[in-house]
């Protein structure tokens, strides 16, 4: 947490201990900073006060570890490191990117598949296909865990929020009945991947969520390492569990990056380094237009580079779904989109039922933040 007036004028004089008496969402290091910041804060204060009333809803998850991963982290009684350590998942495989310890770890397409297992028993992770296809729309983590027969003490939702958010985005914009619309292929342009780059194998779950479809995901963003630019990855199996005798470990041992295997797989990922508006023409040369653009934790108001990307999306008339860590970030993004396109959102800001069930540490507000917390579309 930092002083809400940091950078607005004089340097901060100490920790931000003075919370706004109206919204309680922001804090200041001194009376002078609070006073000087009021001309700006008064525009958002009432809105933040309304958002603070929904804190309990943000923290509502069905898991046995919910209080530990929400309230305790927000109150600094717990950390992501300690949460993962208690489950013997700290700095292990694709879990290493779920705490600050993994921030400096480099991403490699090949290395990520050497450590692609769940590091969990077979009963606690989706290491194989579902026992039955999805018979009804999944609307919550409870629905998903019941369908996949996973107990609610399993932490797999911390990683599965990526593919489940894609699933929810498609349902939310009315593309749920996919077959008549897209034949046998679903094409997704996925913008701004970051920690997902070390967790790519979780996208194999898309084959369970969209059975019978070939799913092509183009991941585009400046955080894609140079050595991964253009990499095509075939996900031929689900990420395996830690039980060597499980049938998931008797299948093909390693997904093979490469164009030939990717063509025959159910889910293919292709990585592109750079900004979407700069790389779109290159991507379009080799593939058909996307059915949907998805940008997780987009931060539209924070990055000017979104302006030409939003203009491109408007020009191509492709449904685009965005998420962000908190409702306020989504509100600011909606204002930016309207100023650029002259249009309001096609899907109003709403809470994502498949947001990651562990709070973000060091949130800029007293409102809890979660990865992929809120969703909206243009």
Per-residue pLDDT reduced to its tens digit, 257-291: 444 344 445 899 999 999 999 999 999 998 889 99
Q: Which of these ranges, 46-55, 66-75, 174-183, 353-362, has the smallest mean pLDDT?
A: 174-183
Per-residue pLDDT reduced to its tens digit, 225-249: 999 999 999 998 899 999 989 999 8
All domains in the chain, ordered by first residue? 1-56 (no CATH), 60-245+264-377 (3.40.50)
Q: Mean pLDDT over residues 123-151, rounded?
A: 95
Our measurement of the distance from residue 103's CA atom to the centroid of its chain's CA atoms, rounded to an integer in Å, reads 16
C-alpha R_g of the chain? 21
Provide the pLDDT for residue 109: 55
Burial class (CB within 10 angstroms; exposed 0-12, middle 13-18, buried 19+) of 225: middle
Length reported for the chain: 378
- The sign of the torsion formed by the CA atoms of 99, 148, 142, 140 equals positive
User: At 176, is the pLDDT very low, low, confident or very high (cuts 50, 70, 90)?
Assistant: low
DSSP 204: G
Tell me the C-alpha to C-alpha distance, in Å, between residue 325 and each of 105, 106, 119, 142, 363: 23, 24, 27, 21, 9
Give the list of residues 6+ apart from residue 94 with CB closer than 8 angstroms, or none: 112, 115, 116, 159, 198, 199, 201, 202, 239
Q: Mean pLDDT over residues 314-322, rounded?
A: 96
Provide the pLDDT for residue 220: 98
DSSP 211: T
- Residue 166: name the closest of 230, 218, 238, 236 by CA: 218
Provide the pLDDT for residue 344: 94
User: What pTM value is reported for the model?
Assistant: 0.91
């Amino acid at each position: 947490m930092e002083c809400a007036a940091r950078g607005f004028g004089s340097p901060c004089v100490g920790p931000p201990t003075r919370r706004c008496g109206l919204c309680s969402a922001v804090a200041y290091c001194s009376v002078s900073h609070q006073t000087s910041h009021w001309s700006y804060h008064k525009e958002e204060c009432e809105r933040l006060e309304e958002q603070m009333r929904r804190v309990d809803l943000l923290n509502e998850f069905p898991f046995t570890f919910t209080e530990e991963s929400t309230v305790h982290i927000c109150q600094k009684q717990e950390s992501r490191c300690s949460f993962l350590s208690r489950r013997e998942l700290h700095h292990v495989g694709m879990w290493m990117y779920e705490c600050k310890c993994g921030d400096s770890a480099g991403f490699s397409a090949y290395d990520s598949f050497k450590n692609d297992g769940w590091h969990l028993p077979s009963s606690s992770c989706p290491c194989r296909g579902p026992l039955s296809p999805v018979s009804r729309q999944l609307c919550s983590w409870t629905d998903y865990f019941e369908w996949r027969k996973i107990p609610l003490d399993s932490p797999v939702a911390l990683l599965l929020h990526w593919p489940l958010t894609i699933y929810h985005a498609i349902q939310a914009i009315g593309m749920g009945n996919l077959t008549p619309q897209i034949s046998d292929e679903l094409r997704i342009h996925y913008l701004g991947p970051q920690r997902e780059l070390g967790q790519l194998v979780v996208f194999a779950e898309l084959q369970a969520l969209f059975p019978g479809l070939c799913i092509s995901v183009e991941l585009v963003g400046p955080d894609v390492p140079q050595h991964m630019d253009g990499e095509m990855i075939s996900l031929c199996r689900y990420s395996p569990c830690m039980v060597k005798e499980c049938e998931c470990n008797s299948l093909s041992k390693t997904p093979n990056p490469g164009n030939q295997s990717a063509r025959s797989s159910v889910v293919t990922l292709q990585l592109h380094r750079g900004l979407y508006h700069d790389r779109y023409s290159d991507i379009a040369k080799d593939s058909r237009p996307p059915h949907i653009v998805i940008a997780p934790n987009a931060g539209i108001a924070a990055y000017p580079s979104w302006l030409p990307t939003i203009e491109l999306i408007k020009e191509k008339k492709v449904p685009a779904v965005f998420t962000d860590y908190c409702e306020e970030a989504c509100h600011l993004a909606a204002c930016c989109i309207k100023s650029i396109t002259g249009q309001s959102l096609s899907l109003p800001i709403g809470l994502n039922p498949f947001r990651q069930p562990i709070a973000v540490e060091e949130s800029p507000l007293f409102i809890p933040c979660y990865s992929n917390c809120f969703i909206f579309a243009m």
